[in-house]
Amino acid sequence: MSYYKHHIFFCLNERQNGEASCSQHDAQGAFDHCKSRVRAAGLAGPGGVRVNKAGCLDRCAGGPVAVVYPDETWYTYVDSQDIDEIVESHLKNGRVVERLLLPADVGR
């Protein structure tokens, strides 16, 4: 058994040259919201969920992005309701949120 059941990584990268980046889509706000929702749901900590910041995940064209491991599930999201759905469906109940999946061919 691993220390955490799931890690969710949020790209918080900010590009200074004007190229697309997740920070342009309030990725920090989504990270903060997710962390709060995971705590409120009692999912945080060993055996549960760890919410992590990440630098560039190199999937900028689909930004903002988050990835859940060990499931290797890549998400894009628009607002806090999307984050709530990821927490409730995937992190709490183990059901992938199909409508928020980042297509496999989306890169930088």
- Summarised one tens digit per residue, pLDDT across range 17-74 is 878 889 999 999 999 999 999 999 999 999 999 999 999 999 988 889 999 999 999 9
Tokens of 59: 């999937």
Please name every residue paired with 101 in a beta bridge, in sequence order, or none if there are none.
Answer: 75
Which amino acid, residue 35? K
The pTM (predicted TM-score) of the whole model is 0.93
Residues whose CB falls within 8 Å of the CB of residue 14, separated by 6 or more in sequence, listed in order: 21, 23, 24
What CATH number does domain 6-100 carry, 3.40.30.10, 3.40.50.970, 3.60.21.10, 1.10.760.10?
A: 3.40.30.10
The residue count for the chain:
108
What pLDDT shows up at residue 104? 92
d(CA 59, CA 25): 14
Task: Indicate the domain borders of the chain.
Answer: 6-100
